[in-house]
Structure 1
Amino acid sequence: MFDMGGTLEDLYSCEDNLRRTAQGLYRILAKHGVAVPYGETELWERVYPQILAYKAEAEVTLMELKPEQLWPDYGFRGIEVDREKLAACSEEIAHMWEVTYFDRTLRRRAAQMLQGLKELGLYVAVVSNTASVFQVFSTLEEYGVRQYFDDVTLSSVVGYRKPHPCIFKIALCQGRLRPEECAFVGDTVSRDVVGPRKMGYGRVFKIGSFLTPIKDIGVYQGYAPDYEIEDIYDVYTILKREKELHASGAR
């Protein structure tokens, strides 16, 4: 099982991403006839801090709202706007935000790694924290790797954020899997090592990303990955070797 952003994907964000996200937000509102009493810059100065506050709260509660709840209730809290029209375009806003706030590219050799895992006969899935219901699916399609995945579990769909045990349990139930027979690959200790370790996953991999130093603020004693890797393709080579060793030991 894989995390998405920062793991299967390389991520990057800077001031230009924020500017383009503000423009995208204003453009979607205009497209759907959602009138707001502010210009683009002033609207962003009001909405952005409220979204950051929601993100901070969600990091504590480990609960995720649907887009049609998030944007009217948090992003546009205190702003006079047609709530019904806003809710109707909230998924479009969430999708735009995910692909604009961060520059995203599929990691080098990720496609070859995924193909290798499927050739080994392994079950492959994504477990991701995201505010959009459909963005991960469409991004996997755009990368040309959707066919390698047996399942996709998203916080925006199930309502729980990593490292909440329920999002991992749902992913396991959907694959009818036992945790000890699974491996998890992620870029943060706080979400992608702590959660799988608590659930008893058999193997945990960690790969560094732009998000790693941002999300891993704190000490996580007792939670360490089995493997720290720099190349995502190493997931395939390590699991292939382990499978071969297991097969030879069973003879």
Structure 2
Amino acid sequence: METATKFKAVFFDLGGTLRIALLEEPYMRHARRKLAEIAGTELPYEEFYQLVEDRYAPYRDWALSENKESGDEELWCKWLLPDHDPVRIRQVCHELSFQYRQSKGRRVVVDGGAEVIRTLHQRGYKLGIISNLIGENEVPDWLEEDGLDQYFDCVVLSSVCHLRKPCGEIYDLACRELGVTAAECVSVADNIKRDIPGAKAAGIGCNIIFDSPEKKHPVRFTEENRPDAVIEDFRQLLDLLPPLV
């Protein structure tokens, strides 16, 4: 990895990087119940959840193939619950997205994550988030609740900008918000297929892969997806990114 003093900003991925999902069945089951309750369905909650899952599959295929993401209203009114009362669904679409994501696990900051964020901010780096996910409100709410919003100068979510990594435009958008060039930025992420090619195409100066505890399969690096560094403990970022002078 090149000397870090040339870099001014750090972008973090969320899922599997800055946050990980704990597969706690009672928590996930509660979210499935809430999902059905909020939607106002007459179906048993597990049957309703399976309906949403079945409809989410073609949505995800579209999102991955087009590098696009729907906002909450379009996601639920067009893709997931087009046969439900659109007035009601528009009113509750943000909460539906939140509960659907909670049905996949309870998300927590990775061990050492908050410490790294605070320290890098103190060291003079501009910090941003670039994340592919459904749901427009969950991340801003979480950052505020955890007191981390003060450290981030930009939060770029696919559900808000309607672009998904690996498209380079999402990195361009984040760089403009931070007022830096792509070459001055470090990307910290966990998915070599999604995160590395797009960041490299956008000209991001340094790509660091976090060997996330969520990863279930070994990865094989190629010239296209090879990162500049791999870390196994989030705190190792502090060794790679010294204070700015």
Note the C-alpha offset of 1:148.
Answer: 1.1
Where structure 2 has 5 or more consecutive residues not aligned to the other structure, the ranges are 1-10
Equivalent in the alignment of 1:240: 242
Q: Distance in 1 between matches of 2:48 and 2:219?
A: 30
Structure 1 residue 98 and structure 2 residue 108: aligned? no
What does the per-residue CA deviation read over 1:137-159, in whole Å, with 9 as the maximum and x for residues that have no partner?
11122333221111101101101
Aligned to 2:90, which of 87, 92, 97? 87
Structure 1 residue 3 and structure 2 residue 13: aligned? yes
Q: Relative contact order: is structure 1 or structure 2 higher (C-alpha 8 Å, sep ≥ 6)?
A: 2
Q: Check conservation: 1:98, 1:135, Cα contact below 8 A.
A: no
Equivalent in the alignment of 1:154: 157
Matched residue SS, 1:132: coil
Matched residue SS, 1:126: strand
Equivalent in the alignment of 2:33: 23
After TM superposition, the structure 1 = structure 2 runs for residues 157-172 of structure 1, keeping only pairs within 5 Å, are: 157-172=160-175
Q: Check conservation: 2:19, 2:110, Cα contact below 8 A.
A: yes
**Which amino acid is the alignment partner of residue 17 of structure 2?**
T
Alignment: residue pair count: 235
| RMSD across aligned positions (CA) | 2.3
Q: Distance in 1 between matches of 2:186 and 2:120?
A: 12
Equivalent in the alignment of 1:227: 229
Aligned to 2:189, which of 186, 191, 206? 186
* Cα pair distance change 1:188/1:17, threshold 3 Å: farther
Structure 1 residue 60 and structure 2 residue 62: aligned? no
Percent of residue pairs identical: 26
What does the per-residue CA deviation read over 1:131-176, in whole Å, with 9 as the maximum and x for residues that have no partner?
1111111112233322111110110110101111111111011112
Q: Check conservation: 1:179, 1:202, Cα contact below 8 A.
A: yes
**Which amino acid is the alignment partner of residue 67 of structure 2?**
L
Aligned to 2:111, which of 73, 85, 108? 108
Q: TM-score, normalised by structure 1?
A: 0.85
Matched residue SS, 2:164: coil
Q: Which has the higher helix share?
A: 1
Q: Distance in 2 between matches of 1:116 and 1:178?
A: 22
**Greater alpha carbon shift after TM alignment, 15-24 vs 100-109:** 15-24
